[in-house]
């Protein structure tokens, strides 16, 4: 999600993956980098992994230096936005006069621009259920360029199709929680678990391998090896695990409790998340 503090207009028409539009952004466009200032950019879990690795920081260090936490009103879930510079234009910390210095690892929201996406689900095969809209900012001259795309081509060219697939369980969590009545709130512990598994990949790895997690949950050897050595595999695992513990629904619970731990749990008070 990217929101501009400038007076942008939202196209009320819903567009599909095969809808066509003309747009191009390059150094020859007079408004180049204007869209990188005075904005709110929500970061996805995969954004954090790409950005913190690009800069050479841990997730915790990156979160502390470059992000600000927010609580989404309609979901009651914690998310993070990119912290802007304290200059007159409230610039992105990664923008320079000649462009973005982390362009190949830029966030999904930047890749989507000038598109906005209203998504019912990012599950495989749900592409045709998505719909899109355009964000028209007064300063943006990219719409005057002659390059034509379908929305599907734009998403592929910008790499958001791959990112959406990696983040799909996180998106589904948002959709699931949004469907709950507003009166149903998550505990603070559940929110902390959501934040850790979504954004702090090193802390979540430590939680899995250095707490009693593996005593409570059964994970096959192949998956254990993958999540120990691959941050993306660990992220996917964590998001699927969150579905099970936050919504207590067997169809979402792909991480099964060991039988002895399950018996112990049945005899105790239920909780939203496992204890360390």
Tell me the whole-structure pTM to 2 decimals. Answer: 0.85
Pair (13, 136) in one structural domain: yes
Residues 158 and 191 in one domain: no
Do the domain assignments include residue 180?
no
Burial of 43: CB neighbours in 10 Å, binned 0-12, 13-18, 19+: buried
Measured CA to CA, the distance from residue 102 to residue 257 in angstroms comes to 41
| Helices and strands per DSSP (H, E), number in the chain | 12, 13
Query: 104 in a domain, yes or no?
Result: yes
Which residues neighbour 141 within 8 Å (Cβ) at sequence distance 6 or greater? 29, 30, 31
* 15, 134 contact by CB (below 8 A): yes
> What SS3 class is residue 78?
strand
> How many domains are there within the chain?
2
The verdict on 41 and 165 lying in the same domain is yes
Phi-psi group of 12: left, alpha or beta (phi > 0 → left; psi -120 to 50 → alpha; rest → beta): alpha
Residue 142 lies in a domain: yes
State the residue range of the domain holding 58: 2-169
Is residue 99 domain-shared with residue 201, that is, in the same domain?
A: no
Predicted confidence at residue 264, as pLDDT, reads 39
> Is 276 inside a domain boundary?
no
Asked whether 238 and 197 are in contact (CB, 8 A), the reply is yes
One domain, residues 75 and 15: yes
Q: Is 42 a domain residue?
A: yes
Render each residue's pLDDT in the chain as its tens digit; 276 residues: 555 555 566 776 889 999 999 999 999 999 999 999 999 999 999 999 999 999 999 999 999 999 999 998 778 899 999 999 999 999 999 999 999 999 999 999 999 999 988 765 444 444 445 789 998 889 999 999 999 999 999 999 999 999 999 999 999 998 888 888 877 888 999 999 999 999 999 999 999 999 999 999 999 999 999 999 999 999 999 999 998 888 765 555 566 777 654 453 444 334 444 444
Instruction: Specify the 3-state DSSP secondary structure of 275.
Output: coil
């Amino acid at each position: 999600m990217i929101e501009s503090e400038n007076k942008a207009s939202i196209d009320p028409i819903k567009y599909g993956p095969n809808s066509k539009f003309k747009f191009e952004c390059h150094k020859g466009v007079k408004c180049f980098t204007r869209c990188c200032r005075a904005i709110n950019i929500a970061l996805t879990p995969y954004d954090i992994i790409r950005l913190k690795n690009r800069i050479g920081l841990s997730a915790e260090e990156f979160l502390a230096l470059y992000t600000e936490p927010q609580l989404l009103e309609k979901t009651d879930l914690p998310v993070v936005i990119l912290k802007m510079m304290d200059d007159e234009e409230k610039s992105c910390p990664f923008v320079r006069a000649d462009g973005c210095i982390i362009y190949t690892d830029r966030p999904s929201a930047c890749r989507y621009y000038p598109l906005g996406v209203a998504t019912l689900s990012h599950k495989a095969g749900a592409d045709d259920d998505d719909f899109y809209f355009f964000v028209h900012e007064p300063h943006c001259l990219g719409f005057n360029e002659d390059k034509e795309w379908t929305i599907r081509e734009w998403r592929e060219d910008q790499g958001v199709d791959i990112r959406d697939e990696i983040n799909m369980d996180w998106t589904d969590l948002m959709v699931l929680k949004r469907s709950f009545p507003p009166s149903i709130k998550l505990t603070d512990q559940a929110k902390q678990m959501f934040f850790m598994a979504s954004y702090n990949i090193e802390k979540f790895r430590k939680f899995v391998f250095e707490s009693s997690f593996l005593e409570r949950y059964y994970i096959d050897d192949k998956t254990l090896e993958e999540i120990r050595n691959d941050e993306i595999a660990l992220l996917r695992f964590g998001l699927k695990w969150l579905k099970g513990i936050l919504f207590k629904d067997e169809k979402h619970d792909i991480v099964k409790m060991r039988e002895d731990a399950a018996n112990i749990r049945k005899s105790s008070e239920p909780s939203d998340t496992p204890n360390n």
